[in-house]
Structure 1
Amino acid sequence: MEPKSTVDDTALNGIMLYCGQLGLEFKGRTPITSKVGPFGEWEKLINCPTPMSYAVGFELRSQKYQGTDTDDSAAINMKLYCSDGNVFEGYPESRNYRNARYTGPQMCSAGKGICGIQTEVEAYQFLGDDTSLNNVRVKCCNANNFYKKY
């Protein structure tokens, strides 16, 4: 996330998922990401806290087009839905972006969880208005594959 600025704020630049079999410690999971914008740094980690829970959906909060003389940011926040019913929001402080709304829940079908990610990222505009992360798509897989085999 790029810190909010008054010049050219891109807000959310990328999303990283940590994947692995349930029952393994977090440190044993593999980070995966799709394309990531060039601004900001990795910050807040949101995870499903129950040992055997996993991500089943998300919502992306985006700011609509602000006009030619105003800075656009596109994606500014994300909510993660877990199989145990928990919902986590990345940056509650992002509410100060005007004209921003959540998409509504984008959920995997029953018995499936998020296992892949694809992002739409605007290329660096050099002298133009940068938005960076614009959209997210996830892949859902059979949740039976998430459990550790003993």
Structure 2
Amino acid sequence: MALSVSTVLFFILSCGLWVAEARLYTSVLTVPNGPRWGRWGPAHFCSKGHAVGFQIKLEPFVMEFDTTSMNAIALLCDDGETVTSTIGPWGYWLRAMYCYRGKLDSFALIVHEATEVDYTATEGIVFHCSDSDELTSTGSERGRLGPMSNQCAEGYICGIQTRVQSPQYIKEDTALNDVKMFCCD
């Protein structure tokens, strides 16, 4: 079977784009309090450099409705690139937050414990910066701050992977449930 030049070129470019997304990392940071609903999305990395800030996508809490709180986290890389993993469908992006002079090196999740009243799962996130700044972005006061992840042993945070629950329609929606951060030299 003979392949056309355009088909071969398409396969070469597709493979090149896939490899461009991959990046060697030195460690994976996790926290124990991330809920377990949803599926893990793909990991995405800063092409070069590291994360110096972040932004969250949030659906605000409204008592009468099924709200989801955090729907996504975007890492803001020092080369101006923005990287995300899976993004939930609800809410809007809040203002970006940046380390003063450092880079992101650990994180903690703010999680709303399961209750009979609108369960939102992940409510917010706290990042620690290498310059000792701490950045917090949250959707409400309903969540509880969990333990901080380990700090990157080598380098700084350079990638993200999120666990997001797809819309449940007649069941309880939660959107973003858990996060893994990747460290690179």
- Which of 128, 138, 143 is 2:181 aligned to? 138
Please give the secondary structure, in 1, of the residue aligned with 2:59.
coil
- Which of 88, 97, 105 is 2:135 aligned to? 88
Aligned to 2:28: none
Where does the alignment leave 5 or more consecutive residues of structure 1 unmatched?
A: 21-27, 143-150
1:39-50 matches, cutoff 5 A:
39-50=90-101
**One-letter identity of the residue aligned with 1:133:** L
User: Which structure's CA Rg is the greater one?
Assistant: 2
**What is the number of residues matched between the two proteins?**
127
- Which of 51, 54, 77 is 1:19 aligned to? 77
Aligned to 2:121: 74
Matched, 1:103 2:150: no
Aligned to 1:60: 109
- Which of 162, 173, 176 is 1:119 aligned to? 162
C-alpha deviations, 1:6-48, integer Å up to 9, x for none? 211101110000113xxxxxxx510000001110011121111
Residues 44 and 90, structure 1, Cα contact 8 Å, conserved in 2: no
Aligned to 2:16: none
**One-letter identity of the residue aligned with 1:12:** M
Percent identity at matched positions? Answer: 31
Matched, 1:38 2:96: no
Normalised TM-score (structure 1): 0.79
Structure 1 position 136, deviation (Å): 0.5
